[in-house]
Structures are given as structure tokens and as C-alpha cells.
């Protein structure tokens, strides 16, 4: 997941209990990723949120 974000040009920074992902586009999208997710659907929900960010899909092509 984080490697995929880096491959798309997002900057990934590790914090104490989470990661921060920063989009390379001018709109400066930002996403926090927990180190220990609380729900079974956390990854699925996170990917859904990222897919709604237009630049995530644009960089996938």
C-alpha cells in the first residue's frame, strides 16, 4: 500500500503511530495511515478514499 503510493509519486513519512502520505499535485491531498488499524475493512476503506482523490487515479495510468 505505502510502496504503491510512493510509486505514484506520493511522499510517505513515518510518524510515531501512523504514516502520512502527501500527494504531489498542486491541491496537496493528504492522508493519514494508522500503523495498527482498528477495523477489518481498514485497508479496503482507505483504498476507496484514495480512489476518490482524482490525482490517485491519474497517476495510476
pLDDT tens per residue, range 2-39: 888 898 889 999 999 899 999 888 888 889 999 888 88
CB 12 within 8 A of CB 2: yes
Number of folded domains in the chain? 1
pLDDT at 19: 94
pLDDT band with cut points at 50, 70 and 90 for residue 52: confident
Here the cell at position 5 is: 503510493
Region for residue 29 given its phi and psi (left: phi exceeds 0; alpha: psi -120 to 50; beta: otherwise): beta
Domain, as residue range, for 15? 2-58
Is 80 exceeded by the pLDDT of residue 61?
A: no
Residue 42: name the closest of 54, 34, 50, 52 by CA: 34
* Range with the largest mean pLDDT of 6-10, 18-22, 48-52, 54-58: 18-22
Amino acid at each position: 500500500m505505502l510502496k504503491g503510493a510512493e510509486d505514484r509519486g506520493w511522499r510517505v513519512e513515518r510518524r510515531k503511530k501512523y504514516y502520512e502520505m502527501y500527494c504531489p499535485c498542486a491541491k496537496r491531498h493528504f492522508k493519514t495511515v494508522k500503523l495498527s488499524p482498528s477495523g477489518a475493512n481498514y485497508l479496503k476503506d482507505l483504498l476507496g478514499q484514495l480512489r476518490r482523490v482524482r490525482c490517485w487515479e491519474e497517476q495510476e495510468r
